[in-house]
Amino acid sequence: MIIVKMRYITFVGLAASILFTGCGGNSNLKKTIDMDSMENKNNPVYSRTDTAKVVLADDEWKKVLAPAVYHVARQKGTERPGTSIFEHSKEVGTYYCAVCGNALFKSDTKFESGCGWPSFYEPISKSSIIYTPDNSYGMKRTEVMCGRCKSHLGHVFEDGPPPTGLRYCINGVVLDFEKAQHAAEKYNSEQKPATK
């Protein structure tokens, strides 16, 4: 009986440690995603102001993107559900394409869908997203891609909240985020006249 209780306690302890570290590895994933975003900001096409379409050969994308970003964005991969640092984020700001810097979603359109990925009910503009049919895996879905670089972002479904009724289910690894306060501070510092 004591052995059974010890095994049960050990099992419960192990399960709790896995939960608190984020399914056996999420704590390391946060560092990876943060590093991936920083790495992507150093690629030559990343810009939050340039709206020109970006077209690169696959081997060029592979050189400038972190492996996890490349897998989702260029190979139409999917990150594991529940692993994105953005899934439950309540920060106020703007979500950008981590591949090219294109503005995609405002934080006030983000909602908790329970699907395992960051979800939004509306893109920042009509041109920020491209839609294409996706009939892979025997399912009929609508793929959403970045309107600037055509990177795979995720899918859109018709089970979201008002006012659109849409749920943009987006892979967090292809998102970059800037807090509204940081953007305002940056803007204000750029507007100050140079002192002599």
**Catalytically annotated residues:** 169
Which amino acid is located at 156 in the chain? V
| Paired residues of 155 in beta bridges | 143, 169
Distance CA 53, CA 67 (A): 22
Q: Which DSSP helix (H) or strand (E) runs through 96?
A: strand 93-97
Distance CA 158, CA 30 (A): 30
Give the residue from 47, 58, 20 showing the smallest Cα distance to 176: 47
Distance CA 166, CA 144 (A): 12
